[in-house]
Amino acid sequence: MTSAAKPLVIVTRKLPDAVEVRMKELFNTRLNEADKPLSRVELIEAFKTATVIVSTVTDKLDAEVLKLAGPEMKLIANFGTGVDNIDLAAARAKNIIVTNTPGVLTEDTADMTMALILAVPRRLAEGERVLRAGKWRGWSPTWMLGRRIWGKRLGIVGMGRIGAAVARRARGFGLAVHYHNRKPAPEALVAELEATYWESLDQMLRHVDIVSVNCPHTPATFHLLSRRRLQLMQPHAYIVNTSRGEVIDEGALAELLAAGKIAGAGLDVFEQEPSVNPRLLKLENVVLLPHMGSSTIEGRRDMGEKVIINIKSLIDGHNPPDRVIETMF
């Protein structure tokens, strides 16, 4: 493929201005000025006419959509790290390359994860709500007591880039790092973090004080934190999720939190976004955020740059650097 072909690039959501300006300079680009998710009909029409689709997590690109892709459709350049919104097998069947934006969101997401690890045990959101409501009556030695995190055990589910970045932050706060993966992390990383590997997720959940979910959402990780596994957690333990809502059985989590069988949760992602389980909204021991883990100006800019590099590589006849081969836990 040559640049003279001037392929049509359709962007499904509003991106940072600088990214959109650069894309229009380089490509024949159709933008989404309204910044509303495309309807299913609009997605199908886009796939019939475009050479490149710049998608986001809000676009559900399943087999039905992909099978209707036109002959010019060559690349899905996902604006994000996770690709659970894309049927990768259906894309392969249509010879459509899928790319993502790995690495650039690692530190931002790890920052948000650590913020929730601090906020939930120390009841920061509860205290802020009391103060804003005008209900604070002054300091008391027994009021709004949280839990110390220094010296506690953090169990990381998924020791990839983000999991490792969380672990580095956690070490600075005096947490002992434990983790579960399909296989052990590299020896150098384990030595750096003084991390303990648990082959059994069930056993790790029984023994840690805080659980951080940092694995991708795949068919293998759907409800990985099932009701049965959540019930293994100690009643004083906390859970934080900045990965994908589908990894946790949200209904079961809400019930266990309400019953005091799990001490608290910090959630940045949900199973049915943008809807949130109404039972979670009623709980004081939960910090809820609207999928903000990667929401930094720098991160969004860097994501856009990666998308542009992937598109330009394809147009210039090269293999895009961030091609997704498979997603695993």
Give percent of the chain above pLDDT 90.
Answer: 95
Average pLDDT value for residue range 100-128: 97
Q: Report the pLDDT value the prediction gives residue 328, as an integer from 0 to 100.
A: 52
Cα 46 to Cα 49, 66, 73, 193, distances in angstroms: 5, 11, 9, 46
Average pLDDT value for residue range 157-180: 98
Q: What's the CA gap between 293 and 13, in Å, rounded?
A: 18
Residue 14: give the domain boundaries.
Answer: 3-103+296-315
Q: Report the pLDDT value the prediction gives residue 208, as an integer from 0 to 100.
A: 98
Instruction: Output the average pLDDT for the chain.
Output: 96
Domain check: are 169 and 263 in the same one? yes
Q: Which of 147, 168, 291, 301 is catalytic?
A: 291
Domain check: are 161 and 14 in the same one? no
Which two three-digit tokens encode residue 106? 């690692």
Q: Report the pLDDT value the prediction gives residue 6, as an integer from 0 to 100.
A: 82
Q: What's the CA gap between 145 and 165, in Å, rounded?
A: 29
244 noted as active-site residue: yes
**Do 222 and 250 contact (CB within 8 A), yes or no?**
no
94 SS3 class: coil
Domain check: are 88 and 145 in the same one? no
298 noted as active-site residue: no
Does the structure show a pLDDT above 70 at 327? no
Q: Report the pLDDT value the prediction gives residue 2, as an integer from 0 to 100.
A: 45
Q: Report the pLDDT value the prediction gives residue 5, as an integer from 0 to 100.
A: 58
Domain check: are 143 and 258 in the same one? yes
Residue 219 lies in a domain: yes
Average pLDDT value for residue range 8-15: 97
Domain check: are 10 and 79 in the same one? yes
Q: Report the pLDDT value the prediction gives residue 1, as an integer from 0 to 100.
A: 47
What is the model's pTM?
0.91
Nearest alpha-carbon partner for 158 in 150, 147, 166: 166
Residue 326 lies in a domain: no
Residue 234 lies in a domain: yes
Q: Which of 20, 72, 255, 273 is catalytic?
A: 273
CB hemisphere CA count around 109 (13 angstroms) = 30
Q: Which of 244, 250, 271, 300 is catalytic?
A: 244
CATH number at residue 55: 3.40.50.720
Q: Please, which pLDDT band fits residue 302 given cuts at 50, 70 and 90? A: very high
**Do 167 and 193 contact (CB within 8 A), yes or no?**
yes
Does the structure show a pLDDT above 80 at 326? no
Nearest alpha-carbon partner for 304 in 5, 19, 4: 19
Does the structure show a pLDDT above 80 at 111? yes
At 48-61, the pLDDT tens digits run 999 999 999 999 99
247 SS3 class: helix
Q: Report the pLDDT value the prediction gives residue 325, as an integer from 0 to 100.
A: 82
Q: What's the CA gap between 181 and 159, in Å, rounded?
A: 6
Q: What's the CA gap between 167 and 107, in Å, rounded?
A: 11
Does the structure show a pLDDT above 90 at 78? yes
Domain count, the chain: 2
Domain check: are 300 and 283 in the same one? no
Domain check: are 309 and 284 in the same one? no
Does the structure show a pLDDT above 80 at 3? no
At 87-109, the pLDDT tens digits run 999 999 999 999 999 999 999 99
Domain check: are 17 and 71 in the same one? yes
